Amino acid sequence: MFLKLYRILVFLLCLNVVYSDICTNTTSIRCDCKEYTNIQTHLPTFFADCSSRFLTELPENINDGLNVIDFSINAIETLDANKRPLNSEDLEELIFGYNNISHVDVNFFQNLPNLKKLDLSNNFISSLENSEIFEKLPHLARLDLSFNSFKTLPDFIFNPLVKLTHLDISYNYMGAYLTQSKTVLEKMLCLTPNLTHLHMDGLGIKELPAGYFDGFNNLKDLSLADNEFTLIPAVPYSVEQLDLSGNKLSFVSANYLNYHSLKVLKLNRMVTLTVIPHYAFYNLFALEKLFITDCPNLKEFSELAFDVLSKDIDHHIKVLSLARNGLNSLNESYKYLFRKMEHVDLTLNPWVCDCNILWLQNFALEFFRSHEIRCHYPSELRLKKILELQPSDVKDCYPAIYGKKSHRVLIVVLSMTVVVLCGLIFYLLRYPIKGLSGKHRISPNSPYGLTSTEEQ
Q: Which residue's CB is nearer to ligand NAG, number 77 or number 307?
A: 307
CB within 8 Å of 453: residues ≥ 6 apart:
none
CB of 330 to ligand NAG, least distance (A): 9
* Centroid of chain to Cα 433: 82
CA 363 – CA 118 distance, rounded (Å): 46
Q: Given the complex with ligand NAG, which of 61 and 194 has the nearer CB atom?
A: 194
Interaction pattern, residues 126-145, with ligand NAG; x per rule: CB under 6 A: --------------------
Segment interacting with ligand NAG, rule: CB under 6 A, options 107-115, 188-196, 387-395, 446-454: 188-196
- C-alpha span between 395 and 406 (Å, rounded): 17
Instruction: Output the CA–CA distances (angstroms, integers) from residue 169 to 97, 198, 429, in the order listed.
Output: 13, 8, 96
Which of 1, 12, 25, 383 touches ligand NAG by CB under 6 A?
A: 25
Strands 32-37 and 44-49 come out as: antiparallel
Give the 3-state secondary structure of residue 9: helix
Nearest residue to 97 (alpha-carbon basis) of 74, 114, 77: 74
Given the complex with ligand NAG, which of 80 and 303 has the nearer CB atom? 303
Alpha helices in 87-215 (DSSP H): 175-178
Nearer CB in complex with ligand NAG: 193/449: 193
Our CB check for ligand NAG shows the closer of 162 and 450 to be 162
Of 135 and 303, CB closest to ligand NAG: 303
The rounded radius of gyration (Å) of the Cα atoms in the chain is: 36
Q: Taking CB under 6 A as the rule, does residue 331 contact ligand NAG?
A: yes
Report if residue 27 touches ligand NAG, rule: CB under 6 A.
no
- CA triplet 68, 70, 74: central angle to 5 degrees? 160
> Judged by CB, which is closer to ligand NAG: 162, or 410?
162
- Compute the least distance from the CB of residue 296 to ligand NAG, in Å: 22
- State which of residues 38, 51, 114, 192 lies at the interface with ligand NAG (CB under 6 A): 192
Q: Is the peptide bond before 378 cis (omega within 30 degrees of 0)?
A: yes
Q: Which member of 8, 9, 43, 162 binds ligand NAG (CB under 6 A)?
A: 162
Q: Applying CB under 6 A, which of residues 37, 100, 194, 217 lies at the interface with ligand NAG?
A: 194
Question: In this chain, which of 3, 83, 193, 237 binds ligand NAG, going by CB under 6 A?
Answer: 193
Q: Where are the alpha helices (DSSP H) in 217-360?
A: 335-338
Site string for ligand NAG, 289-328 (x = CB under 6 A): --------------x-------------------------
Closer to ligand NAG at the Cβ: 259 or 301? 301
User: In sequence order, what are the beta bridge partners of 266?
Assistant: 243, 291
Q: Is position 333 an interface residue for ligand NAG (rule: CB under 6 A)?
A: yes
> Using CA atoms, how far apart are residues 18 and 139, in angstroms rounded to an integer?
27
Please give the C-alpha separations between residue 148 and each of 174, 317, 405, 419, in angstroms, as whole numbers: 10, 37, 66, 86
The contact set with ligand NAG (CB under 6 A) reads 25, 162-163, 192-194, 303, 331-333, 356
